[in-house]
Structure 1
Amino acid sequence: MRTEEIGLAETPSRLAPAAPGPLRDFVLYSVIGATGVLVDLAAFWLLYEVFGLPAQCANALSTTFGITNNFTWNALFTFRRRDRLLRRFCRFYLVGLAGMAVTSILLFLFSGVLHVDPNLVKAASLPAVLIVQYVLNRTWSFS
């Protein structure tokens, strides 16, 4: 039976789910990013405090866990792409590392050189890094 025969064609807005859009995707990307931060922090604490790994090693691993968390959920829900996962993950990971590098440079410049509180620099860098990473992941990692 066709949808027109039962009157469904006349009311598509009631039946169809909301179409994904850039704002919805950005909000979802941001929420998923927050879960990645929690994974990163929890993993760092466990690796450094509980398992006794050196801080740099614990940071590299915990960052990888956070990026992997974000990739998984963004692939499933934000960008809804499940093909070429290894290629997409490598790109997503590079974007994550680029964001970390930008934050590190800003910390060096503003905290190391200008003596601004590192917590303020880190917090101030988050919105810009988030937007740049979202655009890169949308147009490159998940294109």
Structure 2
Amino acid sequence: MKNLEKIMQSQNFKQLIKYILIGILGLVVDFGIYILLTTFKVNAEIANMISSTCGIINNFIWNSYANFKVYDRLLLRFISYFLVGQITTVFTTVSLFVFATKLGFPHLIVKVVATFIATLIQFVINKVITFKKNDSSSFS
């Protein structure tokens, strides 16, 4: 039981929870734009690229200031975050193409599953690379 308490009080766990909450906000942005675009008959893959990009930008701002609290090298951090996000956007787009367009699965279900997997991958990469604190130049 003490190990569970120790994990739940760790900085990594708190950041993961904040990352998930920010991710939910990003999902609202992403899925809101995706549903709007597909309602107007925009191709699912194109709609996904546009909506995911909007979600990535939203999440970077929130993660920088509210979660990882890093304020230095924001342009370089944004580029890193954006590239990680775009790699996972490619993953969700390919998933939509294969499972929804080619195999006929419902596109919203495919997007939800692919987004969940992508989020786990993004957290690890962004924690280790994008939002790694540079002790000499970051604010606490």
- Same topology, TM > 0.5: yes
- The amino acid of 1:94's aligned partner reads L
State the match for 1:37 in structure 2.
27
Asked if the contact 2:48–2:93 (Cα under 8 Å) also holds between the matched residues in 1, the reply is no
Shift of 1:55: 4.7
Shift of 1:27: 1.3
Query: Residue 80 of structure 1: SS of its match in structure 2?
Result: coil
Aligned length: 122
Task: Spell out, residue by residue over 1:33-92, the C-alpha distance to the aligned partner (whole angstroms, 9 max, x if none).
Answer: 11122234556688x6xxx9x958887665443222211111112212111000000111
Q: Which of 108, 118, 142 is 2:131 aligned to?
A: 142
Q: TM-score, normalised to structure 2's length?
A: 0.70
Note closer, same or farther for the CA distance 1:83–1:66 as it changes in structure 2 (3 Å cut): same
Identity over the aligned pairs, expressed in percent? 32
2:80 matched to 1:91? yes
State the match for 1:111 in structure 2.
100
State the match for 1:9 in structure 2.
none
Instruction: Give the superposed CA RMSD.
Output: 3.0
2:104 matched to 1:123? no
Asked if the contact 2:30–2:51 (Cα under 8 Å) also holds between the matched residues in 1, the reply is yes
Structure 1 runs not aligned, ≥5 long: 1-17
Shift of 1:95: 1.2
Distance 1:129 1:25 in 2: 17
Structure 2 runs not aligned, ≥5 long: 1-7, 133-140
Shift of 1:129: 0.7
User: Which of structures 1 and 2 has the larger relative contact order (alpha carbons within 8 angstroms, sep 6+)?
Assistant: 2
Q: TM-score, normalised to structure 1's length?
A: 0.68
Shift of 1:136: 1.0
Q: Which of 34, 51, 59 is 1:70 aligned to?
A: 59
Task: Spell out, residue by residue over 1:88-114, the C-alpha distance to the aligned partner (whole angstroms, 9 max, x if none).
Answer: 001111111111110111112222332
Query: Residue 58 of structure 2: SS of its match in structure 1?
Result: helix
